[in-house]
Amino acid sequence: MSFEVPVVHTVAEMRAFVRDRRARGERVGLVPTMGALHAGHLSLIEEARRHADRVVTTIFVNPTQFGPSEDFSRYPRTLPADCEKLASVAADLVFAPAVEEMYPPGFCTTVSLEGCAKAELEDHFRPTHFVGVATVVAKLLNQAQADVAVFGEKDYQQLLVIHAMARDLDIPTRIIGSPTLRDPDGLAMSSRNVYLSPQDRARAPALFRALSEAARRIAEGEVVGHVMGEAREAIVGAGFDIDYVEARHAETLARVARRQDGPIRILAAARLGATRLIDNVAVPTA
């Protein structure tokens, strides 16, 4: 017998589900996504299940986090296939609102951000992105009132922005980061990998290789600036156009000059043709 995950489209239905489960003493986990689900997303659901009895997955391609020249209209929308994948991990509910449900006429409030949202990383290249992300995530957290919410470490700056936003706005849901899932050759799983041509897909793992090599060398005590310069050369040599490849403090995203300034995270965004890949790795600590 095949299992189907119930899908609801309104805030009221989703909130009623969570309220009902919590009233029975169950813990509820929320996994916000934009759909086009892959194994990386399913690992977020599994992580949520480690902390909760029920898992609600949201699928909403949030228009406000895309810039005018970005891929909002062509972003993959695959709700039926997503629901099948969610059934395979026995997710409990899918919340798939329409744009009008999330942004009804008269909507006029956004979250204003400083700190790690202004680190000159993603924010420099996508200036309106994090306001869109933080606003929609604040809405989803308030709508669901779940016990925990899980986000991937792949979008590392986003994870820090969401942590800070939930802390600063006293949102009681606990925010949990979950490690990046990778293809066997190291490429971080992403819904946008479908945009890669076969040639670019073959080149793409060079990004993770360069970041991993840089992390290893910094951990061994080599000078951060020198190592990062060579990492950038390797990435350009593999055919990428770099937006940024930076070693930063893992909690504040402040610039770091020496291993002792850490914990350090190396973060990158680089383009292969029209496809922009982002990735990050931790510098191992002794």
Active site residues: 41
Continuous segment of H or E residues that includes residue 30: strand 28-33
- Name the residue among 109, 108, 233, 238 with its Cα closest to residue 186: 238
Tokens 């669901």 sit on residue:
144
Which CB sits closer to ligand PAF, 62 or 178? 62
Q: Does 33 bind ligand PAF (CB under 6 A)?
A: yes
Q: Is 150 left (phi over 0), alpha (psi -120 to 50) or beta?
A: beta
Task: Please pick, from the candidates 65, 178, 180, 275, the single residue that binds ligand PAF as defined by CB under 6 A.
Answer: 65
Give the DSSP letter of residue 115.
G
Rounded Cα–Cα distance for residues 227 and 222 (Å): 7
Closest separation between CB of residue 44 and ligand PAF, Å?
10
Closest separation between CB of residue 82 and ligand PAF, Å?
12
Q: Does 92 bind ligand PAF (CB under 6 A)?
A: no
Q: Does 137 bind ligand PAF (CB under 6 A)?
A: yes
User: CB of 165 within 8 A of CB of 141?
Assistant: no
The CA angle 100-138-21, to the nearest 5 degrees, is: 90
Closest separation between CB of residue 136 and ligand PAF, Å?
5
Q: Does 141 bind ligand PAF (CB under 6 A)?
A: no
Rounded Cα–Cα distance for residues 190 and 278 (Å): 9
Pairing of strands 264-272, 275-282: antiparallel
List the structure tokens of 74.
């062509």
Sole window of 27-35, 117-125, 178-186, 246-254 interacting with ligand PAF (rule: CB under 6 A): 27-35
Which CB sits closer to ligand PAF, 62 or 280? 62
Tokens 């604040």 sit on residue:
138
Q: Does 155 bind ligand PAF (CB under 6 A)?
A: yes
Which CB sits closer to ligand PAF, 62 or 253? 62
Of 104-133, binders to ligand PAF (CB under 6 A) are: 133
List the structure tokens of 219.
């951990």
Task: Please pick, from the candidates 5, 30, 34, 121, the single residue that binds ligand PAF as defined by CB under 6 A.
Answer: 34
**Residues with Cβ within 8 Å of residue 241, at least 6 apart in sequence:** 270, 271
Closest separation between CB of residue 234 and ligand PAF, Å?
27
User: CB of 100 within 8 A of CB of 142?
Assistant: no
Closest separation between CB of residue 76 and ligand PAF, Å?
12
Closest separation between CB of residue 244 and ligand PAF, Å?
18
Sole window of 26-34, 45-53, 255-263, 272-280 interacting with ligand PAF (rule: CB under 6 A): 26-34
Judged by the rule CB under 6 A, the positions of this chain that interact with ligand PAF are 32-34, 62, 65, 133, 136-137, 151, 155, 158
